[in-house]
Amino acid sequence: MAKTILILGACGQIGTELTLTLRNLHGSERVIASDIREGGEELMASGPFESLDATDPNALEDAVMHHEVEEVYLMAAMLSATAEKFPDRAWHLNMTSLFNVLKLAKEKMIDKVFWPSSIAVFGPNTPKDRTPQSTIMEPSTVYGISKQAGERWCEYYNRKFGVDVRSLRYPGLISWKTEPGGGTTDYAVEIFHHALKHKSYTSFLSAGTELPMMYMDDAIRATITLMRANPEQLQVRSSYNLQAMSFTPDQLSAAIRKHIPDFRIRYEPDYRQAIADSWPGSIDDTPAREDWGWEPQFGLEETTAIMLKELGKRS
């Protein structure tokens, strides 16, 4: 029987596009989308959906057995800004779901796992420019602490029990199909919606806050390429650094002004500024390039043009 893939958190920003892409590659029936709530129209119409809470070990095991699942993509998570408001819930969701999946993999009920980490694993004492793969990591956010702990557990389960778990440290992700929710990098998506609707945006990060970012197509391609890589190629079993582009709100607004000349941006930094200030401005992703051939395809200009074009069709 051909393999079945289970996506946990399929209705979120990454989960939606990952599910659609995997369904194109493997066929709709082979990719089970699951989440605690239903997703957008395109996703729901594209193939099977199961209501599933990734923190419930019995429900997860039942789904894995029932669908004869071989690969799990665990995309359910509470992101940085929301996690600061609900630390207990964030820790519970981010860690319990990971343990549930790792345990099933340890018991050989699943062959392969993808788990997303983040640039949030780094902290204020980390070198900010071209942050290396291995460096000081003292995350100062609840989300970052959960991602750093998760990375340690992934590596542990791989080395100790041979679990084939693979991971990427995603930067801020920019997409038009599904909006992000609860992240510090969300401004870089919100700004496009506001630019088209109001020709103005009030940024919750200051003008000069540089952060690593990536267009969603690059993120999906990175994820699938990593999952297809020969296991012997993969030296990093915590999580790979990944870089595509870095920019500030000021630079992004200048790129938008090339398409909408009267677009205006104002700055009213809030509690998310401290989170952004604790993260790197750019990432050194040499191990990802050397081990499995990572190379980004979208920069700031291309991303801006696509976002305005695609969102413009809807407004």
CA nearest neighbour of 212 among 249, 242, 253, 171: 171
Q: Confirm whether 143 is a catalytic residue.
A: yes
Binding residues with ligand AKB: total (CB under 6 A): 11
Question: Which one of residues 4, 185, 239, 304 is an interface residue with ligand AKB (CB under 6 A)?
Answer: 185
Count other Cβ atoms within 10 Å, centred on residue 181: 12
Q: Please, which residue, 79 or 220, has the CB nearer to ligand AKB?
A: 79
Decide: is 170 part of the binding site for ligand AKB (CB under 6 A): yes
Q: Which of residues 130-169 bind ligand AKB (CB under 6 A)?
A: 143
* CB of residue 304 to ligand AKB, shortest distance in Å: 18
Decide: is 118 part of the binding site for ligand AKB (CB under 6 A): yes
Q: Which of residues 75-114 bind ligand AKB (CB under 6 A)?
A: 79-80
Q: Which of 143, 157, 215, 240 is catalytic?
A: 143
List the Cα angle 275/277/280 in 5-degree steps. 105
Answer for the pair 178, 42: CB distance below 8 angstroms, yes or no: no
Question: Which one of residues 34, 178, 184, 209 is an interface residue with ligand AKB (CB under 6 A)?
Answer: 184
What letter does residue 231 receive in the DSSP assignment? Answer: G
CA nearest neighbour of 138 among 149, 127, 153, 124: 124
Q: Please, which residue, 39 or 180, has the CB nearer to ligand AKB?
A: 180
Count other Cβ atoms within 10 Å, centred on residue 229: 15
Answer for the pair 247, 191: CB distance below 8 angstroms, yes or no: no
Site for ligand AKB, rule CB under 6 A: 79-80, 118-120, 143, 170, 172, 183-185
Q: What is the set of active-site residues?
A: 143
